[in-house]
Every structure is written in C-alpha cells, then in structure tokens.
Structure 1
C-alpha cells in the first residue's frame, strides 16, 4: 500500500472510530444498573483509547506523507499539527490533555484516575472530531 493510500485508510478508520466513540457517549446510562453502567463506561474508555491512538497514527502518517517529517511521539504530532494552525489553541490543549489521559489510563489503572478522566470524554471526542475535520482536505 502506498503512503498516500495508507493515510486515506487511517483517516477513514479514524472517522469511523470517532462515530463509534460518539455513539457510545450518547448512551443514557440512567437506564442501566450499576454493573451494566460500569461495563458501558469501560467500553467508552476503550473507544476513547482506540480513537486517540488512531488520531496519533493518522497525524504521524500525515506528516510523513505530506511534510516528509518523521514524528516519533503522539504529543509531538499534536504540537506539529497546532504549529501548522490546523487546530485552534483550545482544541490543541484538549488534545494534549487527551493524550495525557490516554497515557495515564494505559499505564496505571486506578479507579480514581478513571473517575477523573471519564467526565472529559465528550470534550475529547469533540476535539478529536475537530482535528479529523481539519485533516480531511489533506487526505484526498
């Protein structure tokens, strides 16, 4: 697969992941018991982790293909995207926080951490969606 095709493939996967993540966040948890709510919240967190990972990989491929720039770390990809004025400062800050939250969730699972991060998921989804929309013209 050529690099440009790979970028488009990643972009399409990212778009689908965002849609799935958003749908999971629209579930009304009041309709479920405590156990079911816990399972659904864990699923939402997993969708967040998957989606933010796809954003990073898509940004990495974008810089590789369109800018001939190899980026090694997720936060560096977000910084570079912001430096191109592709996203505004507010979105940039939310994305950086999302990257940090993903790292915290991936490396240490503590219920306190989960409870701190969970309320931010809707903000993260909006910022990821905004970044994806900014990427779209560059994937064609």
Structure 2
C-alpha cells in the first residue's frame, strides 16, 4: 500500500471513530472529552492526507493546515464555504489542543456534527481525486 492510500485510510478510520461520538445527546464528561480528542486526531489525519494529495496530484508542497485548506479550495477539493468552515474547524482544533476550558469544551462538542460532516465531504473529495 502506498503512503497516500495509507494516509487516506487512516483519516477515514479516524473520522469513523469521531462519528461514533459526535452528536451524542447528553454525553457524559468522558464521552464529551473522548469525542473532542477524536476530533483533534481526525483533523490532524485529514489535513495530512490532504497535504499528501496536494503533493502527489498537484505538485503543491505545504507544511501546515490552513495553507492546505486554501490549496484544496483552489484545486476544487472543497467549496469556498467548506474552506471557510474548515478554517473555523482548525481554529477549534487548535483551541482544544492547547488549553482546557469547560465552556469551550461544551461549545466545541456542540459543533462536532458539523465538523464531522465537513471532514466526510473533504475526505470523499480527496479519495475521488486519488482514484
């Protein structure tokens, strides 16, 4: 299996694990915190898979998430609306990984279903571009 295929499959598995917990009504603290942790690693896996697609298919070398999102939008791998939402999603991911704040955790958990939907669309576009 080549590296790009492995990254795409890894991102898909991460997303499936996030989708198991995203949107649970009245989650326990453990479920909420686990969902947020899954969100963090899913965003990481997805943007790195996107970086791989951009490198292999478009000859674009980028080192961080936001430029990868911009390049995906420029190359038709996501809509402008999804790119704006992805920038917000990356901001959420950065906030969760650097500090713990109860109100922030509640707010981000409430956005996980939207983020998961965006990640699903993004991964589908990446997989289609690699086929």
| TM-score for both structures, normalised by structure 2 | 0.91
State whether structure 2 residue 16 is matched by structure 1 residue 19: yes
2:6 — aligned with what? 9
Q: CA 1:110–1:27 in structure 2 vs 1: closer, same or farther (change >3 Å)? A: closer
Matches for 1:55-134 after TM superposition, within 5 Å: 55-134=46-125
Q: Is the 8 A contact 1:11 1:139 kept in 2?
A: no
RMSD, matched Cα: 1.6
Bigger mean CA offset, 85-94 vs 67-76: 85-94
Residue in 2 aligned with 1:54?
Answer: 45
Count of residue correspondences: 131
Structure 1 stretches of 5 or more lacking a match?
A: 31-36
Q: Say which one has the larger Rg.
A: 1
Unaligned runs of 5+ in 2: none
Runs ≥4 in structure 1, deviation > 3 angstroms? 26-30
Tell me, yes or no, if the aligned pair for 2:73 and 2:80 is still in contact at 8 Å: yes
Determine the C-alpha separation between the residues in 2 that align with 1:108 and 1:27. 23
Question: Is the deviation greater in 44-53 or in 79-88?
Answer: 79-88
The residue matched to 2:62 in structure 1 has which SS? coil
The one-character-per-residue Cα deviations of 1:60-105 (angstroms, maximum 9, x if unpaired) are 1111211222101101101100111221222212211110100111
Q: 2-side partners of 1:80 and 1:40: how far apart?
A: 34
TM-score, with length taken from structure 1: 0.86
